[in-house]
């Protein structure tokens, strides 16, 4: 990867020339949400770029779609398919590179460049896609095992189906918000003493509010209802990836989740990072997943071994006093199932997956202490303190806490990452 | 209710003047989907009606929304709220009544009437709303108990939470289809011998394909994220009702559903009836639900006792040979929880419900034989034959079978119903 003429790209910026992530932006000067890409600490406004007289010439694959970057979501762009995303990303990399073949467009045109490039700090980020359906899987083996022990004991921690199919459930699309949106502590039915009989819930603000560190996958091409997506084609249905915080009300969850699964414990909010890292940008970071001891069915067999990505993930907790502690450092490789396997399984019965659908990986925890992707695991079910800077400690989240997920991979100067996925807890409303 | 000047309204038509259900129609003459209402065997094209010079005068509540019935979904109309739906329904009842106060609009204008009224048999029906999220509850007590016995035994048939909260789970919005759409038998992972150890699934077409008889509720007004809907306001958030067939792959379900709930066993298809019966049209048919022995939390307490509807429901199974048998006759009153309770619970933690969201009641079974809303119950878990006309029998659905749900209430000449919710099973595709 050559270097960029764009100034101020820090070596550790997740938005190097090797990345080119897409998002939906607005600015005080133009409050209409539209597409942009992140480069260093700047944003390239793709609506402005689309207005350049040479736009159609340098982006031939967007012929007939000149307004696509003026739309308020990335859905139409995603639906064009991976060959188009690949070409568009390459052309943008060329435009921003020091040895660009088109210096007249941006590099040498100070006036146009000034309109097209804006500092990120002045840009408002929006939900990148219109998400029709959201499915949360459970592919983080270490998380599934640890939580299974807490909810059902070590004998039944993992159900017999766990290594045969990517377990997942339908989530709530309406409460997916973009990074930065405040997260209100939910009320719910909870058992103050889960062991007491008869079981008598109260209605109260959640006392065991948690985060879940997940990787999210956004879909490009749809499949027709009734037509499963073969695992060999599944990659072609992927648009890109985001970080996902699947906020969870653990006390609500343990009371409500039998027999039909999590409901109000999950549907009050889920936060995604604003920049969609295209599938192609993560290709160099492939690695092997957790080995599955069980031989899988043919529709889940992949033609390669490096089916997941080794993205360095971390979780930072900031207290209301402003003290920040990195409470988790792990990798997105700690999955038993890959996203192509999730897609093949999800569509096996003919379920139509649509452009913009979000698939969550499930909470990603590593095998060691310090690699746990939820407070439930770190506090061992709320029994141990998680120590924080500022002489503080947590078992679950307090009002005013902010949780920031980060994820990036690659060498200095060539980092590919998501930026931040952040949410701060706001006190419960009065009912 | 006075009588209508519209010819050919049979006394047992579910689309009497007392109903006025809304749907999305298209015709060979105008293939653009748009709004209409059903009256007897006719459809009143509301887009045509909107073109009448007196439209704004007779529908003052639609001022500024003159194009609302030309849209391809009912969402914008639903979002206007119940006072508007009430007024619009009343005006349409007046226009169609024998003693209409505006005979010049339709009754006495043969030319305009000919354009606005079309026989239903020439009309194509579409999904009435754009459904952002679909939640399926489990409020049919007799069904929940009977199925719980089969999946978990009589001791654990109903979980301790069942009488404390309306149990529900998030369903799949993308696979909701309108009545008449063929239903393809899904493939899935199934255990040929569920008792054998170790458990070894195969991938095969579903062998225990079932229907579920449900009432669906479509939402009108949204709530803001973080703001629960109080039970006293919940009625104002309801647009209307449809019949819902929650097709279910029982062999897939029993293997996949622990611990996160049903997934591929449900997401291949759900069918809704095309005509939305407005909430106001069902007001005269209120009755008491199943008595809940458990005192419920304040947010679930309603100010009245008649919180559900007594709608006569039936299920007809037609074999590929054309023999039809009514295999279930029950009532929509057999619910432990009302829709206002479901809405209050769903939004308790702040989950935003949006215009067009679909809530399913859960399978509605009565207490007696002949009142069971699924084959799983009728066949006692696949162990007994359900006898059909034509010397035939079923435990689960065969390819070529058609399942028709019907629901209606009220006296002859004043029936309020949904028409049919039908789907015919098509053989599995080759993988
Ligand atoms: Ca999760
Ligand atoms: Ca159901
Ligand atoms: Mg969530
Ligand atoms: Mg269904
Ligand atoms: Ni095109």
* pLDDT for A152: 83
Residue B428 pLDDT more than 60?
Answer: yes
Do A169 and B170 lie within an 8 Å CB cutoff? yes
The secondary structure of residue A410, as a DSSP letter, is S
Quick check: helix, strand or coil at residue A279? helix
Name which of A164, A259, A351 is nearest B267 (Cβ-Cβ): A351
Quick check: helix, strand or coil at residue A234? helix
Strand A358-360 with A134-137, pairing: parallel
* pLDDT for B151: 78
Please report the ipTM that was assigned to this predicted complex: 0.97
Closest CA to A61 of A74, A77, A73, A45: A77
CATH number of B134-426: 3.90.850.10
Do A203 and B227 lie within an 8 Å CB cutoff? no
A71 Cα: distance to centroid of ligand 5 (angstroms): 15
Tell me which of A52, A85, A142, A143 is the catalytic residue. Answer: A143
Residue B1 pLDDT more than 60?
Answer: no
Q: What is the mean pLDDT of residues B133-156?
A: 93
Tokens for A56? 């159609």
Q: What is the mean pLDDT of residues B338-350?
A: 98
Query: Hey, where are the domains in chain A?
Result: 22-126, 134-426
Closest CA to B260 of A331, A194, A360, A358: A360
For B201, nearest residue in chain A (alpha carbons): A164
Chain A residues lying within 8 Å of B250, measured CB to CB: none
**How far is the C-alpha of A74 from the C-alpha of A418, rounded, in Å?**
16
Residue A1 pLDDT more than 70?
Answer: no
Chain B residues lying within 8 Å of A262, measured CB to CB: 260-261
Annotated catalytic residues of B are 143
* pLDDT for B372: 98
Do A175 and B259 lie within an 8 Å CB cutoff? no
Strand order in the sheet with B124-126: B117-119, B42-45, B34-39, B22-26, B124-126
How many residue pairs bridge chain A and chain B with CB atoms within 8 Å of each other? 209
Name which of B175, B187, B255 is nearest A352 (Cβ-Cβ): B175
| Mean pLDDT taken over chain A | 97
* pLDDT for B150: 87
Q: Sorting pLDDT into bands at 50, 70 and 90, what band is A191?
A: very high
Do A348 and B167 lie within an 8 Å CB cutoff? no
Q: Which residues surround ligand 3, an ion (CB under 5 A)?
A: A 246, 266, 270
Name which of B161, B177, B201 is nearest A164 (Cβ-Cβ): B201
Distance from the B54 Cα atom to the nearest Cα atom in chain A, whole angstroms: 37
B269 Cα: distance to centroid of ligand 4 (angstroms): 5
Chain A residues lying within 8 Å of B265, measured CB to CB: 349
pLDDT for B238-249, tens place per residue? 999 999 999 999
Residue A331 pLDDT more than 70?
Answer: yes
Q: Sorting pLDDT into bands at 50, 70 and 90, what band is B8?
A: confident
pLDDT for B106-123, tens place per residue? 999 999 999 999 999 999
Query: In percent, how much of chain A has pLDDT > 90?
Result: 96
Do A169 and B263 lie within an 8 Å CB cutoff? yes
Do B269 and A225 lie within an 8 Å CB cutoff? yes
pLDDT for A224-237, tens place per residue? 999 999 999 999 99
CATH number of A22-126: 2.30.30.230
* pLDDT for A2: 72
């Amino acid at each position: 990867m050559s270097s960029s003429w764009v100034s101020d790209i820090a070596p550790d910026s997740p938005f190097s020339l090797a990345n080119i992530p897409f998002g939906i932006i607005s600015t005080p000067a133009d409050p209409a949400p539209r597409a942009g890409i992140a480069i260093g600490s700047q944003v390239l406004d793709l609506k402005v770029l689309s207005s350049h007289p040479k736009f159609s010439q340098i982006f031939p694959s967007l012929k007939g779609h000149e307004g696509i970057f003026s739309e308020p979501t990335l859905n139409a762009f995603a639906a064009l398919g991976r060959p188009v995303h690949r070409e568009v990303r390459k052309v943008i990399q060329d435009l921003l590179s020091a040895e660009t073949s088109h210096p007249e467009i941006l590099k040498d045109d100070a006036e146009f460049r000034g309109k097209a490039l804006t500092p990120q700090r002045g840009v408002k980020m929006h939900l990148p896609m219109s998400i029709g359906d959201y499915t949360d899987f459970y592919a983080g083996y270490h998380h599934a095992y640890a939580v299974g022990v807490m909810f059902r004991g070590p004998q039944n921690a993992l159900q017999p189906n766990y290594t045969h199919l990517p377990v997942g459930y339908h989530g709530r699309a309406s409460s997916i918000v973009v990074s930065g949106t405040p997260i209100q502590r939910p009320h719910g039915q909870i058992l103050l003493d889960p062991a007491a009989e008869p079981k008598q819930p109260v209605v109260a603000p959640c006392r065991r509010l948690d985060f879940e560190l997940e990787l999210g996958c956004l879909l490009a091409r749809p499949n027709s209802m009734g037509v499963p997506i073969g695992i060999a084609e599944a990659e072609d249905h992927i648009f890109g990836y985001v970080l996902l915080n699947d906020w969870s009300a653990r006390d609500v969850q343990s009371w409500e989740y039998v027999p039909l699964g999590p409901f109000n414990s999950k549907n009050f909010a889920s936060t995604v990072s604003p920049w969609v890292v295209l599938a192609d940008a993560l290709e160099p970071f492939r690695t092997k997943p957790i080995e599955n001891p069980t031989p899988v069915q043919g529709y889940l067999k992949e033609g390669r071994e490096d089916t997941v990505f080794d993205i360095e993930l971390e979780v930072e907790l900031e207290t209301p006093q402003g003290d920040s502690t990195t409470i988790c450092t792990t990798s997105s490789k700690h999955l038993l199932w890959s996203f192509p396997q999730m897609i093949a399984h999800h569509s096996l019965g003919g379920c139509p997956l649509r452009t913009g659908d979000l698939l969550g990986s499930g909470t990603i925890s590593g095998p060691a202490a310090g690699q746990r992707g939820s407070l439930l695991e770190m506090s061992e079910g709320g029994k141990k303190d998680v120590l924080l800077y500022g002489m503080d400690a947590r078992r679950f989240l307090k009002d005013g806490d902010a949780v920031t997920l980060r994820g990036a991979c690659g060498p200095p100067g060539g980092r590919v990452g998501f930026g931040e996925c952040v949410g701060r807890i706001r006190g419960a409303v009065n009912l």
